A and B are shown apart, each in its own frame.
Chain A
Amino acid sequence: MRRPARRARVVAPAAALLLISAAGCGNLSATTKDRAYTVGVVTSQTGGASQLGLGELRGARLAAEYVNAHGGINGHRLRLITADDQSNPQQAVLATRRMIGKVDAIIGSSVSGDCNAMIPLTTSAHLVHYCLSPGIKPKPGSSVWSASAHTVTLAQRAMEYWKNQSITRIGLIYSTDASGEDGAAAVRKAAAGQKGMLVTADVGYDPTAVSITSQLQKVASSRPQALVLWSTGAGAGVALKGISQMGLDLPVVTTDGNATYAFVRRIADYMPKTLLIPATQDFWWEHSTRGSATRSLEQAYHRRYHEKYGEEPDFGPGVAYDAMLLVGDAMRRAEGTPGGVRHALERESGFPGVVGTYRFSPADHRGLTIDDVAMVRVTRAGFSYVGR
């Protein structure tokens, strides 16, 4: 009877210590006992960006499961250490600090502000850092990557589509936050690149505004044939509601940041007759010309996501799924050489992902082109391909 008691005296504090250290590590979900490739995933699982972050975490987990189900990386398991940055750059920094030394690469976070806060740490630790926000512009030769299509590419696709539809007079409305300003600059540039295309009104608004009647009146009086609305969340909702209330019967293009089912449900009653989004291949893969192998990959991704989470994937999961597969593939090819993951990733050329086909180089750490972007129409049922 004395042995168990003695063991309990030893085991209990040890277990308590383990619990404390686990609590201190936030959501750290892996031990370092066995040899495995470890990727840190920092996403915004709570807070303002959780609309993206929750889906991203699901996508990353799905990809890791896929890798492990197919033999892992060079026979080793791919393991994730996950953390919630609470949509807060300070928390993103803390999570990154805790991960450095324990991980071979970091994926995340969900928004550019958090990624920017993490970059100095991941750079000094010489870790490959795959930011899931398209808002980051990685410097050539750096260890930072950025997910999804560039804002300029999205705007270019939207302008080309409208030009093909003989729509040349565009009213531009955008929220005056970082993402809105970035989108507006991209639209101006893309419109200037299309002969005969004219931005008839260029109007910003506070994303927390109660109503944007004045701004919409300004746009309406410039007699545009179509509108571009570059804003997400409440800002986009206020604008769409204003457009509906003012009876502006014009087609509207908005950013792919609104390509989520949750957002579509919110604006269902105020949706313009034609609401379009320049979206990546995961939204229109059934119409893609990438070939049967990639079609099977997309099919498997959508099926497995639906089986696991009971819903269709939207904007968040695809970028994280691809990031995890890309990093995993680079780890496999680097075979543990120092700095090898970055070089291997830069040499990825023609990697088929669900978001698009990646062609990286030392100067291009995004890898997607306008061929990976097409216009999709938003309806109450979801997203449907309309063309390029």
Chain B
Amino acid sequence: MNMVDSIQVVLGGLIVGCVYALIAVGMSLIYSVSRIINLAQGGFVVLAALTAVSLQQRLGTSPFVVLVLVVLIFTVGLGAVDIVVMRPAARRATPDQVLLVTVGVLQTIGGLLLLLWGSLPYTMQPFTGAKPLVIGGVKIATQYFWIVGALALAVAGLWFLLHRTGLGLTMRATAQNPEAARLNGVDVDRVRLIAFGISGAMAALAGATVIPMTFLQFDTVTPYAVTGFIAAVIGGLGSTAGAVAGGLLLGVLEGVFSRYTSSSLAEVAAIAVLIILLLLRPAGLFGRVSEVRR
């Protein structure tokens, strides 16, 4: 395998990893604020992707306008999911039961996709031209820049919110100790609502930027949910940096193993490496051991 070939494989893995990372960051944010492992996050990514396709077909507008619209819709939408489903569930049920509720939401999304979009796969035109850039023999699809940009925007925006604003301080305080935050007058429900809204925006960013690169349909919700969850756990649930690292690592491992071994073996090998990593670092790459013990 020559250098160009190797770079192409790693690049492909990194791009897939960016999508996993976006799902994982959304999951991690919700987990840190509410202790809910939202397995439905991957489902919202597919729902956002198909919503983007339909909006572009109906409105015939530019993909950037579609991207903004989808982000707005899913920010509000996931806020509504928190109010209608998650908040009542979290009040009445144990964390294990809430996990099952998120599985139920994931299945509902799959059913909704089948009902509204049918069983056919969907895709969209790349945002900025279908012709790839060729740099030193390496072919780079222009959509890759949008996916990397979406992840960068999500991470930078989240960092700024958490570390440079009063709301971020409140969110961090709630993540640290929700009960103490509540006793200090923090409206924990509002903080959680905002976290769900932000995770909705991230799902929209992931879905709308990945759909021009791939085909999605109703039954792709579960693989997205599973890979996003694995990435979040590898990075350390609750850690944004960990979610990004976990996603990218998973993507690159899958890509590299797919190049050298069969596809089925590649997935198993990638997961095996990650299990070994978890055995060595139970809290994940960037998680804290106290989080694991709790």
| Given A244-B130, A245-B132, A217:B16 Cβ within 8 A | no
Contact with B119, one of A87, A204, A205 (Cβ below 8 angstroms): A87
Question: Which one of B173-181, B189-197, B256-264 is at the interface?
Answer: B256-264
- Are B267 and A266 in contact, with the CB atoms below 8 A? no
- Whether the Cβ atoms of B120 and A218 lie closer than 8 Å is no
CB within 8 Å for A213 and B255 given contacts A48-B219, A204-B263, A237-B215: yes
The chain B residue with its CB closest to the CB of A213 is B12
Q: In whole Å, how far is A228's beta carbon from the nearest beta carbon of chain B?
A: 16
A214 with B121, Cβ < 8 A, contacts A48-B219, A238-B214, A241-B214 known: no
Q: Is the CB of B218 within 8 A of A237?
A: no
Measured CB to CB, the nearest residue on chain A to B139 is A246
Residues on the B chain within 8 Å of A262, using CB: 120
Residues of chain A within 8 A (CB-CB) of B121 are 233-234, 237, 266
Pick from B1, B210, B256: contact of A210, CB below 8 A.
B210
B285 within 8 A of A: no
B15 contact set on A, CB distance < 8 A: 211, 213
Is B36 part of the contact surface with A, judged by Cβ < 8 Å?
Answer: no
B interface SS class: helix
Query: How near does chain A come to B269, taking the closest CB pair, in angstroms?
Result: 13
Query: B216 contacts A217, CB within 8 Å?
Result: no
Whether B125 is near chain A, meaning CB under 8 Å from some CB there, is yes
User: Residue B43 at the A interface, CB < 8 A?
Assistant: no
Residue contact B263 to A50, C-beta cutoff 8 Å: no
- Residue ID in chain B nearest A244 by CB atoms: B130
Separation of A233 and B121 alpha carbons in the complex (Å): 6
Min Cβ gap B95→A in Å is 28
Contact with B along A192-211 (1 / 0, CB 8 A): 00000000000111101111
The CA of A198 and the CA of B277, in the complex, are separated in Å by 40
Binary per-residue interface labels of chain B (208-235) against chain A in the complex, 1 for a CB within 8 Å, 0 otherwise: 0010011111111011000000000000
Chain A residue with the shortest CB-CB distance to B121: A234
CA–CA, A233 to B130, complex, Å? 21
| Cβ contacts under 8 Å, A47 to chain B | 114, 119
Within 8 Å of chain B (Cβ to Cβ): is A24?
Answer: no
- Whether the Cβ atoms of B267 and A206 lie closer than 8 Å is yes
For chain A residues 23-70, which have a beta carbon within 8 Å of chain B?
A: 46-51
Interface residues on B, range: 35 or more
Q: Which residues of A contact B263 (CB under 8 A)?
A: 176, 203-206, 209, 215
The docked-state distance in angstroms from the alpha carbon of A214 to that of B269 is 15
Cβ–Cβ < 8 Å partners of A204 in chain B: 262-264
Query: Chain A nearest CB: distance from B133 CB in Å?
Result: 11
Query: Hey, which chain A residues are within 8 Å of B220, CB to CB?
Result: 208, 234
Chain A residues touching B, majority SS = helix
* B11 within 8 Å of A (CB atoms): yes
Point out the residues of chain A lying under 8 angstroms from B262, CB to CB: 176, 203-204
Interface range on chain A: under 10, 10 to 19, 20 to 34, or 35 or more? 35 or more
Partner of B214 from the list A51, A210, A266 (CB cut-off 8 Å) is: A210
Chain B residues whose C-beta falls within 8 Å of the C-beta of A209 in the assembled complex: 16, 214, 263
- What are the residues of chain A within 8 A of B120 when measuring CB–CB? 51, 233, 262-263, 266
The contact of A234 among B8, B19, B216, by CB within 8 Å, is B216
Contacts of A48 in B (CB 8 A): 114, 119, 218-219
| Interface status of A247 (Cβ within 8 A of chain B) | yes
Which residues in A have their C-beta under 8 angstroms from that of B127?
none
**CB-defined contacts of A247 to chain B, threshold 8 Å:** 132, 139
Q: Which residues of A contact B125 (CB under 8 A)?
A: 269
Q: What is the bound-complex CA distance between A41 and B123, given in angstroms?
A: 33
CA distance A346 to B58 in the complex (A): 52
In the assembled complex, the CB of B15 is this many whole angstroms from the nearest CB of chain A, namely 7
A165 at the interface (CB under 8 A from B): no
Chain A, residue nearest B259 (CB): A214
- A217-B132 in contact given A49-B119, A210-B19 (Cβ < 8 Å): no
| A289 CB within 8 Å of chain B | no
Beta-carbon contact of B16 and A266 below 8 Å? no
Q: List 6 A-B contacts (CB under 8 A).
A: A47-B114, A51-B120, A210-B213, A213-B12, A214-B258, A241-B123
Instruction: Given contacts A176-B264, A217-B12, A237-B215, list 13 more A-B pairs with CB under 8 A.
Output: A48-B219, A203-B263, A206-B267, A209-B16, A210-B16, A211-B15, A215-B258, A217-B5, A218-B258, A221-B2, A233-B119, A266-B123, A269-B125
